[in-house]
Amino acid sequence: MSAYKSDFLNILAERGFIHQVSEPDALDALAVKGPVTGYIGFDCTASSLHVGSLLPIMMLYWMQQSGHRPIALMGGGTTRVGDPSGKDESRRILTDEMINQNLAGIRTIFTKFLKFGSGPRDALMANNADWLNTLNYIDFLRDVGRHFSVNRMLSFDSVKLRLDRQQELSFLEFNYMVLQAYDFVELHKRTGCVLQMGGSDQWGNIVNGIELGRRMANAQLFALTSPLITTSSGAKMGKTAAGAIWLNAAMVRPYDYWQYWRNTEDGDVVRFLKLFTILPLSEIARLGALKGAEINEAKKVLATEATALVHGRDAAHEAAKTADTTFKQGGMGADLPTLQVKVGDGILEANTKLGFTASNSQARQQVTQGAVYLGETKITDPAYRLRAEDFDKDGRALLKFGNKKRAILQLASG
RNA sequence: GGGAGAGUGUCCCGAGCGGCAAAGGGGGCGGACUGUAAAUCCGCUGGCUAUGCCUUCGUAGGUUCGAGUCCUACCUCUCCCA
């Protein structure tokens, strides 16, 4: 199975990161010879990255671990244009302030996975706004644009899809692939970067860069894409009803992040352990051999390891502990969300304020259906009001909503 | 520029003779079963101080006791002709 000679490609292959590689043998040989510089571009469309972006981040991580130099490229310039790949509709145009704000939020995430610096194996952070924003249109057309064939561009999936469905593709978006290709060549010039990685939907864009590099700089560049990760039941990663699973602790609390991974489907556990934790493969194989209910142990490991990478080991253990006291012992873990209440407050309002339900009407329906427990007592009366005896000596009560949602009601003192 | 069609429940898709809080899916949430899994079955899926009241069908007007439904204008998208 280990068809490669380099650690870099072997690790990626064994852990399931590789979908397609251009000229794998040549890249492999290069990686054996010495440090390779490679990059992945990240959009600045939101103020944090979410679980969907974790995969490319992990590729950069392994790249550095196997002795190479990763570059995290912030798309400060390309986000102003908007990537049409895989999108049904035009992306709305973001203001420059928003982009810069988003960029700042995204930046911090990388410091948890990569060691930055100026040494030969230290990671670099770049921003394509640095070179794209100052481009001169005519010069750019003459230097770069002449290498692109519109006939060919029209044949790319990202473009064809839009045209076939007769959905508008603006000239602005049409240029995205040209800019991304130019990024690759520019990074090659600046840092000697020879590899661009990304999701499988980026293949066309990356190959464009490779060709542009050959024409403009006579360089041999490489592409490596990762498979699109969906759960066993076909859903895209990182989205729940509550919204995307962000990596920023302020947007998704570590406890919720832990829970996200804890609730992984059986069929995904091994795959996710390989992709989203840095546990050795032997350990993953051991966990993968667990059967039936024992798989829950593997899921806990997955949750804790994945959380530790993003939020640190302490936060991960805290989340694991809270989950244990809450679900195993029916107690109140420290990490649970807490709501200040008074005696006489309605049960519906409590659920809505905690975000368990979107409105009191919805809360009413769910209470009627038996979804809500106060401690061990099922509450089925929508008009129920909190009573003093519902709380323990410390003025706390455990509110359960459904199977998984838990919160602490804290009686206001005084 | 001319002709034809479309826009529906703030997640999506989609039915809707003038009586409509509006069929049916998907998704989501909840219940049962389990292992905080999947599959399956069942319930819910506009809001509220709730046997009632308020707000929803691209936007703004109009006809009508009553409009998602009919008329007018406008916006957006698609198709055909120029």
Can you give the pLDDT of all 414 residues of chain A as single tens digits?
Answer: 457 999 999 999 999 999 999 999 999 999 999 999 999 999 887 788 888 889 999 999 999 999 999 999 999 998 888 776 655 445 556 778 888 888 988 999 999 999 998 877 899 999 999 999 999 999 999 999 999 988 888 777 777 766 665 566 777 778 888 999 999 999 999 999 999 999 888 888 999 999 999 999 999 999 999 988 877 766 666 666 556 788 988 888 999 999 999 999 998 999 999 999 999 999 999 999 998 899 999 999 999 999 999 999 999 999 999 999 999 888 888 889 999 999 999 999 999 999 999 999 999 999 999 999 999 899 999 999 999 999 999 999 999 999 999 999 999 875
Distance in Å, residue A88 CA to nucleotide B13 C1':
15
Q: Is the CB of A402 under 7 A from strand B?
A: yes
Q: What pLDDT does residue A46 have?
A: 78
Q: Is the CB of A163 under 7 A from strand B?
A: no
Distance in Å, residue A319 CA to nucleotide B20 C1':
49
Nucleotide nearest residue A322, measured CA to C1': B36
Residue nearest to nucleotide B45 (CA to C1'): A362
- Look up residue A317 and give its two tokens: 């253990």
Q: Where are the alpha helices (DSSP H) in A5-156?
A: 7-15, 24-33, 54-65, 96-110, 129-132, 137-143, 150-155
Q: What pLDDT does residue A412 have?
A: 83
Q: What pLDDT does residue A241 have?
A: 53
Running DSSP on this structure, what letter comes out for residue A200?
G
Cα dihedral across residues A264, A270, A276, A279: positive or negative: positive
Q: What pLDDT does residue A37 have?
A: 96
Distance in Å, residue A360 CA to nucleotide B17 C1':
37
- Which residues in 325-354 of chain A line strand B, with CB less than 7 A from it? 326-327, 352
Give the integer Cα–Cα distance in Å for A133 and A170: 19
Q: What pLDDT does residue A161 have?
A: 66
Q: Is the CB of A294 under 7 A from strand B?
A: no
Distance in Å, residue A180 CA to nucleotide B81 C1':
40
- Evaluate whether A405 touches A356 at the Cβ level (below 8 Å): yes
Tell me if ipTM is over 0.90: no
Nucleotide nearest residue A401, measured CA to C1': B30
Q: What is the C-alpha R_g of chain A?
A: 25
Q: Is the CB of A359 under 7 A from strand B?
A: yes
Running DSSP on this structure, what letter comes out for residue A125?
E
Q: Is the CB of A233 under 7 A from strand B?
A: yes
Pair type for strands A243-244 and A195-199: unpaired
Q: What pLDDT does residue A92 have?
A: 55
Q: Is the CB of A139 under 7 A from strand B?
A: no
Nucleotide nearest residue A300, measured CA to C1': B36
Chain center to CA of A84 = 19
Q: What pLDDT does residue A192 have?
A: 95
Distance in Å, residue A88 CA to nucleotide B23 C1':
28
Residues near A170 by beta carbon (within 8 Å), at least 6 away in sequence: A90
Nucleotide nearest residue A361, measured CA to C1': B47
From residue A327, how far is each of A178, A211, A313, A337, A363 by CA, in Å?
A: 52, 55, 21, 15, 22
- Evaluate whether A111 touches A105 at the Cβ level (below 8 Å): no
Running DSSP on this structure, what letter comes out for residue A385?
B
Q: Is the CB of A60 under 7 A from strand B?
A: no
Distance in Å, residue A265 CA to nucleotide B43 C1':
24
Distance in Å, residue A335 CA to nucleotide B7 C1':
46
Q: Is the CB of A122 under 7 A from strand B?
A: no
Distance in Å, residue A253 CA to nucleotide B53 C1':
40
From residue A328, how far is each of A111, A202, A290, A320, A321 by CA, in Å?
A: 35, 44, 20, 11, 10
Amino acid identity of residue A153, one-letter, is M
- Which helix (H) or strand (E) segment is A80 a member of? none
Q: Is the CB of A162 under 7 A from strand B?
A: no
Q: What pLDDT does residue A87 have?
A: 56
pTM: 0.89
Distance in Å, residue A238 CA to nucleotide B9 C1':
27
